[in-house]
Amino acid sequence: MSLVRRSNVFDPFADFWDPFDGVFRSLVPSIAPSDRDNDAFASARIDWKETPEAHVFKADLPGVKKDEVKVEVEDGNVLVISGQRSKEKEDKNDRWHRVERSSGQFMRRFRLPENTKVDQVKAGLENGVLTVTVPKAEEKKPEVKAIEISG
């Protein structure tokens, strides 16, 4: 019987006993609670907004240190945000009552539009929020040439 919450999403029924919990876990071992908990972190939630000046990505990464996160641009226009949150060291004398925080690796890829300056990407991690700013290139306005009409 498992009473451990499986997700960060609020579920008013999460603390109720699930009679099928052990059945499914024995049939499909890949959905064991530890794997599901890691999946929550493995698919880190990232917001992407476009302003007139830049594309801004924000990721909530609580408990992740700066040296555990990588921000890269690959293939010229693919932004890659990856990292890892290590599991807390466990003392054999500890008795856990609830485990809701997840650990593990994550990686997200975003294909950037052509109007970005990938050589000027900036990233910062403050209060558990990673902010990646990709400046936009100035749009070249089409040159208009007036043609004189004869006659």
Indicate if the pLDDT at residue 68 is higher than 60.
yes
The answer to whether residue 110 sits within a structural domain is yes
The answer to whether residue 94 sits within a structural domain is no
The answer to whether residue 106 sits within a structural domain is yes
User: Bridge-partner residues for 72, per DSSP?
Assistant: 80
In this structure, what are the phi and psi dihedrals at residue 51, rounded to the nearest 5 degrees? -110, 175
| CATH code at position 53 | 2.60.40.790
The answer to whether residue 31 sits within a structural domain is no
CB 102 within 8 A of CB 37: yes
3 state SS of 58: strand
- 4-45 pLDDT, tens digit each: 444 445 555 555 555 555 554 455 444 444 444 444 455 678
- 73-121 pLDDT, tens digit each: 999 899 999 998 877 777 888 888 887 877 888 999 999 999 999 999 9
| Element counts in the chain: helices (H) and strands (E) | 2, 7
Question: Is this structure's pTM higher than 0.75?
Answer: no
- Strands, E, within the chain: which ranges? 46-50, 54-60, 69-74, 78-85, 104-111, 122-126, 129-135
Per-chain mean pLDDT for the chain: 78
The answer to whether residue 142 sits within a structural domain is no
Provide the number of structural domains found in the chain: 1
3 state SS of 84: strand
* Residue whose C-alpha is closest to residue 111's, from 83, 75, 138: 75
Cβ neighbours of residue 94 under 8 Å, at least 6 residues apart?
Answer: none
Q: What is the domain extent for residue 11? A: 1-23+38-88+101-137
The answer to whether residue 148 sits within a structural domain is no
d(CA 23, CA 3): 15
